[in-house]
Amino acid sequence: MKEINEAYSVLSDKEKRQKYDSFGTADESSFYSNSGDFSQDSSFFDEIFNTFFGEKTSSSRKEETKTTDGSVYLELTLNFKESIFGIKKSCNATGAYSASDIVFCYYCEGKEIINTIQKTLLGHIRTQTVCDKCLGKGKMIKRVCVSCKGKKIIQAREEFILNIPRGIKSDTEYRYKGMGNDIGTGKRGDLLVTFLVKKSKYFERKEDDIHVKVPISIFDSIFGSYVKIFTLEGIETINVLIGSESGFSVYLPKKGCYTGINTSERDTISIEEEF
């Protein structure tokens, strides 16, 4: 709770905010003299400030797994706010040198099969076999592509932007059609991403509700007060009722998680007062 109070004091003080932007801490001297002490809490502060200002991203990924049908499986880690609101993260396949270098197979004359006649004791027998020169395709490559060496595909790293939908839960698998590998047919497989959501030090997700614990003083509990709290959209003010007991909860409707992927319906934030 000490961290939460300190985070809010930095948010509400312009000078402290500037020091945080410059040094990663509101105490400039600690940056020079004992920065290691602050490192334990810095991730908490980063989370709070990123929630409101979106200055940093925590997304990371693991190496993809490839399949024979062109599908690619990938794990991608999101921070808590990214999982709620979503975010955007960032050869002609013929095997020939050019279109004119794809010619009819000279062996089967483009028919894809070879007719052979065998002389046996029973007479002449005609058989049909797949052309072993063009592998039954009826066409051959006269000059191979200098990039893929006639294999139709090349290995390369591709960078693209993923449109991550809102309402993602941890371990959700999401399919991006046509963003996988090309296996030489000119069509691409799918990219299947499993999203892993980092736990928040401030917000706790329970189904589609978000739970937040807010420290209040005995004085606030007895006489009532107004307290500022963090939400995903920013700072809200709640009314602490006279005579409130520790564990009493206040609810903010339509401030919680989205109830499904890309839906517009949202659940509540539950604020638990404690002292």
Express each pLDDT in 151-206 by its tens digit. 666 666 667 788 899 999 999 999 999 888 877 677 788 989 999 999 988 899 99
- Looking at residue 38, what is its pLDDT? 36
Tokens for 254, please give them: 């339509």
The closest of 74, 76, 59 to 189, measured between CA atoms, is 74
Q: Where are the alpha helices (DSSP H) in 86-147?
A: none
CATH topology of domain 91-157: Chaperone, DNAj Protein; Chain A (2.10.230)
> Which is higher by pLDDT, 37 or 164?
164
> Which is higher by pLDDT, 49 or 166?
166
> Which is higher by pLDDT, 249 or 110?
249
pLDDT tens for 105-164 read 877 877 778 887 777 777 778 888 888 877 777 777 777 676 666 666 666 666 778 889
Q: In this model, does residue 94 exceed pLDDT 60? A: no
- Looking at residue 172, what is its pLDDT? 92
The closest of 202, 193, 153 to 173, measured between CA atoms, is 193
- Looking at residue 46, what is its pLDDT? 58
Give me the chain's average pLDDT, please.
74
Long-range Cβ contacts of 50-53 (<8 Å, 24+ apart) = 50/79, 50/81, 51/80, 51/81, 51/202, 51/230, 51/232, 52/11, 52/230, 52/234, 52/235
- Looking at residue 267, what is its pLDDT? 93
Domain boundaries defined on the chain = 1-56, 60-90+159-197, 91-157, 200-275
Superfamily of domain 60-90+159-197: Urease metallochaperone UreE, N-terminal domain (2.60.260.20)
- Looking at residue 194, what is its pLDDT? 93
H/E stretch holding 88: strand 87-88
Q: In this model, does residue 50 exceed pLDDT 70? A: no
Q: How confident is the model at residue 40 (pLDDT cuts 50, 70, 90)?
A: very low
- Looking at residue 48, what is its pLDDT? 53
- Looking at residue 23, what is its pLDDT? 44
Interatomic CA distance for residues 275 and 219, integer angstroms: 10
- Looking at residue 33, what is its pLDDT? 36
- Looking at residue 45, what is its pLDDT? 52
Whether 210 and 269 have beta carbons less than 8 Å apart is answered as yes
Give the mean model confidence (pLDDT) for residues 226-250.
86
Q: How confident is the model at residue 64 (pLDDT cuts 50, 70, 90)?
A: low
Superfamily of domain 200-275: Urease metallochaperone UreE, N-terminal domain (2.60.260.20)
In the numeric block, the tokens 């010619």 are attached to: 103
- Looking at residue 57, what is its pLDDT? 46
Q: In this model, does residue 71 exceed pLDDT 80? A: yes
Give the mean model confidence (pLDDT) for residues 2-31.
52
Tokens for 59, please give them: 């997304």
Share of residues in the chain with pLDDT > 90 (%): 17
Question: One fold for both 60-90+159-197 and 200-275?
Answer: yes
pTM attached to this predicted model: 0.56
